[in-house]
């Protein structure tokens, strides 16, 4: 009994430690006090001023940039990653193992290293930093994750179904589109969502590739804002919204994964 | 043109996977409407041959023609053949109807015709009313029916079947065999069927092609293959058999198992060593009497459903397998009799090991990638290419591979009544044939030793 209580207490303490920061932000997003920590009564003012835009034009811009970058990066890396996964899957087993390993290195690599190396790459090729470089950078670190999430679907697939499609008169491209694609689509969607959240979330790589033309994403905006002294109060409702969005996406991914397991 | 009699012609086809030879100079012609079975143990190249015909792989050498058209390099989607795969390979994201309609939709047929054809195909395989079912919800047998329907709906000239029943349980397999045979009759399409199950092959086929190690061993009707196996491998692989060393004393008289028998074979010459095959069901077993050609003692008796399977140790020292409806318990003295036409005589492929070699000096000869000591060779120049002969019984196998002069893997084991005849694939990739009384297992790693006095060197 006592043991059980301790175990449960430990769990709740851990959860509290994990989630209290975000909870605090969420709670204080519903008050209009300028300084975090002061409660001046419940209100939706910060939410309405966040969406009314006007005075926080730069924040809205950062938000739009973030989502546009995430959308492009996730789409392109889903395409690249899926094609790469199919290619790797069809390699001979020895080369395949090597390629899988090579694919995993960028995932293990600290973001900061990826950021610095991309920065050096762009500089040495004389590419001026800005929107394009951020998108390219995000594509490059998202793609391995897509490969990773498509690969299991390919492995699960009956290898004969591609041949069966050819046998029934499909050209290799038709077989890819009509048979392989539907089979790996769940993996591609998971990969897309993963890439999307990774891109939104990223700071380390973005800061090195964003240049100084005034382009801001959410993470760089918040960073700059915090360094200027004091966070803009509107960041509190914004963080809340982003957190809830990511939470929903994660639930969707997990549900999908569970459903797939059950189907098996 | 004479060639048009055949729908499939495989000519001098070889397939290599790196160093490995999967198919070695295959020649095969299939008549239109025939049910041909390619039969062999796993790894014999039968599936590779089918995949070459389907176009999933291309031949390293040789030519394949379908309906007289050269298609060796044609991609699979342009060949007039359809395949039924071992693991069904249905498209899991499509329902039964869409699976079957897949090929027709690619041909852009009008949907009314597609629907008619799909319904027809479903009816043919006894799956009417299953159109809208999810393929995952079907049993193995039903999935295979859908796979067959998916293939035949395209009216292929040839239907290729790659062990289609291997994943089904015995009862279902028997039912499906009958249905396939019916289907073949009603469609009139050429079937090329790959299996490792000899019983299935005997049941279904018009023609059986027996393969082993990438080579065709024998092509013939099921009756031919069963009754007149061309070599010990075929005899051993198809059905149960007693394979013994024998000597053709003269025409219509053969000696084996320490006894002379009348037989129906002629033309082997006098005192010619041969292999004899006697099927266990062709040996009569009864209480000892004057009619007995051989006498012996039953050493084991197993009930097999329809018959009993008994091993009889003859007084002449051979072990024979006998199948009979009557029960003779272990330990009982019995007489055995074989009728002349039940004795099948096969020419021996070889009577001793023959190797290409090179004489190193008077006392040494090189073959199998190894230098062997031999008895002094006087009349041949050192360095000359020579023929080396070693009797089967003089090759010594050792458990411990380091003890041997060279090493190899036991590849094929044939019981010859009083000894085992092994094929050992040496690491030099040449086969060494060994007669031994010791029991070895397929795949055993062995050391091989040959004594100097057992090596015969010839020009």
B206-247 pLDDT tens trace: 999 999 989 999 999 999 998 888 888 898 888 888 999 999
CB contact under 8 A, B93 and A182: yes
Question: Is residue A264 pLDDT above 60, yes or no?
Answer: no
CB contact under 8 A, A164 and B75: no
Q: A94 to chain B, minimum CA–CA distance in Å?
A: 15
Q: A149 to chain B, minimum CA–CA distance in Å?
A: 19
Q: A117 to chain B, minimum CA–CA distance in Å?
A: 41
Residue B284 host element (H or E): strand B283-286
Which residues have C-beta within 8 Å of that of residue A101, sequence separation ≥ 6?
none
Instruction: Please give the span between the terminal C-alpha atoms of chain A, in angstroms, as a whole number.
Output: 38
Pairing of strands B294-303, B308-314: antiparallel
Q: What is the mean pLDDT of residues A221-246?
A: 82
All residues of chain A having their beta carbon less than 8 Å from the beta carbon of residue B155 are none
Question: Is residue B2 pLDDT above 50, yes or no?
Answer: no
- When CB atoms are compared, the residue of A167, A169, A174 closest to B54 is A167
Q: Whole-angstrom Cα distance, residue B420 to residue B412?
A: 10
Question: Is residue B414 pLDDT above 70, yes or no?
Answer: yes
Check if the beta carbon of residue B268 is closer than 8 Å to that of residue B347. Answer: yes
The predicted-structure confidence for A74-115, as pLDDT tens digits, reads as follows 999 999 999 999 999 988 888 999 999 999 998 899 989 999
- In 3D space, the residue among A135, A119, A122, A132 whose CA is nearest the CA of residue A67 turns out to be A135
Question: Is residue A147 pLDDT above 90, yes or no?
Answer: yes
Structural tokens at position A93: 């087993």
CB contact under 8 A, A164 and B85: yes
- In 3D space, the residue among B382, B383, B427 whose CA is nearest the CA of residue B409 turns out to be B427
Q: Flag whether residue B54 sits within 8 Å of chain A, measured between CB atoms.
A: yes
Q: Whole-angstrom Cα distance, residue B27 to residue B62?
A: 9
Q: B187 to chain A, minimum CA–CA distance in Å?
A: 18
Question: Is residue B1 pLDDT above 50, yes or no?
Answer: no
CB contact under 8 A, B154 and A168: yes
Q: What percent of chain A has pLDDT over 70?
A: 96
Predicted confidence at residue B296, as pLDDT, reads 92
Question: Is residue B417 pLDDT above 60, yes or no?
Answer: yes
* Bigger pLDDT: A236 vs B210: B210
Q: A43 to chain B, minimum CA–CA distance in Å?
A: 50
Question: Is residue B382 pLDDT above 50, yes or no?
Answer: yes
Predicted confidence at residue B28, as pLDDT, reads 93
Predicted confidence at residue A86, as pLDDT, reads 93
Pairing of strands B364-367, B370-373: antiparallel
Structural tokens at position A144: 């391995």
Question: Is residue B42 pLDDT above 90, yes or no?
Answer: no
Q: What is the mean pLDDT of residues B319-339?
A: 92
Q: Flag whether residue B103 sits within 8 Å of chain A, measured between CB atoms.
A: yes
Which domains, and CATH codes, for chain B? 6-232 (3.40.50.300), 240-347 (2.40.50.140), 353-458 (2.40.50.140)
Q: Flag whether residue B102 sits within 8 Å of chain A, measured between CB atoms.
A: yes
Q: Whole-angstrom Cα distance, residue B196 to residue B309?
A: 23
Q: Flag whether residue B82 sits within 8 Å of chain A, measured between CB atoms.
A: yes
The predicted-structure confidence for A113-144, as pLDDT tens digits, reads as follows 999 999 999 999 988 888 999 999 999 999 99
Q: Whole-angstrom Cα distance, residue B380 to residue B106?
A: 70
The predicted-structure confidence for B427-439, as pLDDT tens digits, reads as follows 888 888 999 888 8
Is residue B344 classed exposed, middle or buried when 0-12, 13-18 and 19+ CB atoms within 10 A define those classes? buried
Q: Flag whether residue B269 sits within 8 Å of chain A, measured between CB atoms.
A: no
Q: B102 to chain A, minimum CA–CA distance in Å?
A: 7
Q: Provide the number of CB pairs (under 8 Å) joining chain A to chain B.
A: 66
Structural tokens at position A224: 């700059």
Q: Flag whether residue B20 sits within 8 Å of chain A, measured between CB atoms.
A: no
- State the Cα angle at A105 between A102 and A109, rounded to 5°: 160
Q: A155 to chain B, minimum CA–CA distance in Å?
A: 14
Q: What's the whole-number average pLDDT of chain B?
A: 89
The predicted-structure confidence for B61-86, as pLDDT tens digits, reads as follows 999 999 888 999 999 999 999 999 98
CB contact under 8 A, B81 and A167: yes
Q: What is the mean pLDDT of residues A184-197?
A: 91
Q: What is the mean pLDDT of residues A139-158?
A: 93
The predicted-structure confidence for B277-287, as pLDDT tens digits, reads as follows 999 999 999 99
DSSP state of A176: I
All residues of chain B having their beta carbon less than 8 Å from the beta carbon of residue A165 are 91, 102
- When CB atoms are compared, the residue of A158, A168, A183 closest to B106 is A168
- In 3D space, the residue among B267, B242, B236, B270 whose CA is nearest the CA of residue B255 turns out to be B270
Mutate to test the interface with B, among A164, A166, A172 (most CBs of B within 10 A): A164
Q: Whole-angstrom Cα distance, residue B190 to residue B159?
A: 6
Instruction: Tell which B residues from 419 to 458 touch A, by Cβ distance under 8 Å.
Output: none
Report helix angle B170-187 to B140-152, nearest 10.
20
Question: Is residue A8 pLDDT above 80, yes or no?
Answer: yes
- When CB atoms are compared, the residue of A161, A170, A263 closest to B89 is A161
Question: Is residue A261 pLDDT above 60, yes or no?
Answer: yes
Please write down the long-range contacts of A224-233, taking CB distance under 8 Å and 24 or more positions apart: A230/A34, A230/A35, A231/A36, A232/A56, A232/A59, A233/A32, A233/A33, A233/A34, A233/A36, A233/A46
Q: Flag whether residue B17 sits within 8 Å of chain A, measured between CB atoms.
A: no
Pairing of strands B344-347, B272-278: antiparallel
The chain A residue lying nearest B154, using CA atoms, is A168
Q: Whole-angstrom Cα distance, residue A210 to residue A138?
A: 11
The chain B residue lying nearest A180, using CA atoms, is B91
Check if the beta carbon of residue B447 is closer than 8 Å to that of residue B401. Answer: yes
DSSP state of A192: H
All residues of chain A having their beta carbon less than 8 Å from the beta carbon of residue B107 are 169
CB contact under 8 A, B56 and A163: yes
Q: Whole-angstrom Cα distance, residue A192 to residue A183?
A: 16
> CB neighbours (10 Å) of residue B34?
20
Check if the beta carbon of residue B68 is closer than 8 Å to that of residue B4. Answer: yes
Q: What is the mean pLDDT of residues B377-383?
A: 83
CB contact under 8 A, A158 and B87: yes
Q: Nearest 5°: phi and psi at B119? A: -60, -40
Q: How many Cα atoms within 13 Å fall on the side-chain side of residue A24?
A: 9
All residues of chain A having their beta carbon less than 8 Å from the beta carbon of residue B167 are none
- In 3D space, the residue among A188, A190, A158 whose CA is nearest the CA of residue A257 turns out to be A190
Q: Whole-angstrom Cα distance, residue B180 to residue B191?
A: 10
- When CB atoms are compared, the residue of B86, B106, B150 closest to A170 is B106
- In 3D space, the residue among B159, B138, B162 whose CA is nearest the CA of residue B150 turns out to be B159
CB contact under 8 A, A161 and B77: no
Confidence of residue B416 (pLDDT cuts 50, 70, 90): confident
Instruction: Please give the span between the terminal C-alpha atoms of chain B, in angstroms, as a whole number.
Output: 47
- In 3D space, the residue among B253, B206, B243 whose CA is nearest the CA of residue B225 turns out to be B206
Instruction: Tell which A residues from 166 to 205 touch B, by Cβ distance under 8 Å.
Output: 166-172, 174, 178-179, 182-183
All residues of chain A having their beta carbon less than 8 Å from the beta carbon of residue B85 are 160, 163-164
Q: What is the reported pTM?
A: 0.78
* Bigger pLDDT: B34 vs A246: B34
- When CB atoms are compared, the residue of B91, B136, B151 closest to A161 is B91
């Amino acid at each position: 009994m006592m043991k059980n209580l301790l175990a449960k207490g430990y769990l709740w303490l851990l959860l509290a430690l994990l989630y209290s920061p975000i909870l605090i932000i969420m709670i204080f997003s519903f008050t209009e006090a300028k300084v975090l920590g002061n409660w001046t009564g419940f209100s939706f003012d910060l939410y309405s001023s966040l969406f009314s835009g006007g005075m926080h034009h730069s924040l809205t811009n950062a938000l739009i940039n973030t989502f546009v970058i995430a959308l492009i990066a996730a789409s392109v890396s889903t395409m690249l990653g899926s094609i790469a996964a199919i290619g790797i899957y069809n390699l001979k087993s020895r080369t395949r193992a090597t390629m899988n390993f090579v694919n995993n290195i960028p995932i293990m690599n600290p973001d900061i290293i990826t950021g610095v190396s991309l920065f050096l790459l762009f500089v040495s090729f004389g590419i001026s930093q800005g929107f394009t470089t951020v998108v390219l950078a995000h594509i490059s670190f998202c793609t391995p994750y897509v490969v990773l999430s498509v690969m299991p679907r390919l492995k699960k697939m009956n290898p004969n179904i591609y041949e069966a499609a050819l046998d029934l008169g499909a050209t290799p491209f038709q077989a890819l589109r009509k048979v392989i694609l539907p089979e790996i689509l769940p993996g591609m969607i998971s990969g897309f969502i993963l890439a999307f959240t990774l891109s939104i979330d990223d700071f380390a790589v973005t800061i090195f590739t964003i240049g100084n033309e005034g382009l801001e994403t959410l993470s760089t905006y918040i960073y700059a804002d915090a360094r200027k002294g004091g966070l803009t109060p509107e960041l509190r409702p914004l963080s809340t919204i982003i957190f809830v969005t990511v939470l929903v996406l994660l639930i969707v991914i997990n549900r999908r994964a569970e459903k797939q397991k059950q189907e098996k | 043109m004479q060639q048009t009699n055949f729908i499939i012609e495989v000519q001098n086809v070889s397939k290599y996977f790196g160093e490995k030879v999967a198919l070695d100079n295959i020649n095969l012609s299939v008549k239109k409407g025939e049910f041909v079975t390619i039969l062999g143990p796993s790894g014999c190249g039968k599936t590779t041959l089918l995949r070459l015909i389907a176009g999933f792989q291309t031949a390293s050498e040789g030519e394949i023609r379908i309906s007289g058209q050269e298609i060796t390099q044609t991609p699979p989607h342009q060949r007039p053949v359809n395949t039924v795969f071992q693991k069904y390979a249905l498209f899991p994201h499509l329902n039964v109807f869409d699976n079957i309609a897949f090929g027709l939709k690619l041909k852009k047929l009008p949907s009314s015709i597609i629907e008619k054809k799909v319904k027809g195909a479903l009816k043919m395989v006894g799956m009417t009313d299953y159109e809208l079912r999810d393929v995952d919800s079907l049993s193995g047998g039903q999935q295979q029916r859908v796979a067959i329907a998916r293939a035949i709906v395209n009216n292929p000239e040839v239907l290729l079947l790659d062990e289609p029943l291997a994943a089904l349980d015995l009862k279902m397999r028997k039912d499906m065999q009958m249905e396939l045979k019916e289907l073949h009759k009603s469609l009139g399409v050429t079937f090329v069927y790959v299996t490792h199950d000899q019983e299935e092959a005997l049941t279904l086929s018009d023609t059986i092609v027996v393969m082993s190690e990438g080579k065709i061993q024998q092509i013939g009707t099921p009756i031919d293959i069963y009754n007149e196996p061309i070599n010990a491998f075929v005899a051993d692989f198809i059905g149960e058999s007693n394979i013994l060393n024998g000597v053709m004393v003269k025409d219509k008289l053969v000696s084996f198992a320490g006894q002379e028998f009348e037989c129906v074979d002629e033309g082997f010459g006098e005192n010619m060593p041969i292999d004899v095959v006697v099927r266990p069901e062709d040996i009569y077993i009864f209480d000892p009497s004057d009619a007995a050609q051989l006498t012996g003692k039953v050493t084991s008796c197993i009930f097999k459903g329809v018959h009993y399977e008994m091993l009889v140790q003859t007084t002449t020292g051979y072990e024979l397998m006998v199948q009979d409806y009557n029960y003779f318990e272990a330990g009982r003295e019995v007489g055995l009799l074989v009728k002349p036409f039940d004795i099948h005589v096969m020419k021996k492929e070889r009577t001793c090991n023959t190797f290409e070699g090179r004489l190193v000096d008077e006392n040494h000869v090189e073959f199998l990638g190894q230098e062997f000591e031999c008895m002094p060779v006087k009349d041949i120049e050192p360095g000359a290419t020579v023929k080396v002969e070693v009797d089967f019984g003089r090759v010594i196998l050792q458990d411990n591979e380091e003890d041997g002069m060279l090493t190899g893997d036991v590849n094929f084991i044939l019981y010859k009544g009083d000894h085992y005849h092994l094929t050992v694939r040496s690491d030099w990739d040449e086969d060494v044939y060994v007669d031994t009384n010791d029991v070895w297992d397929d795949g055993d790693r062995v050391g091989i030793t040959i004594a100097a006095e057992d090596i015969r060197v010839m020009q």
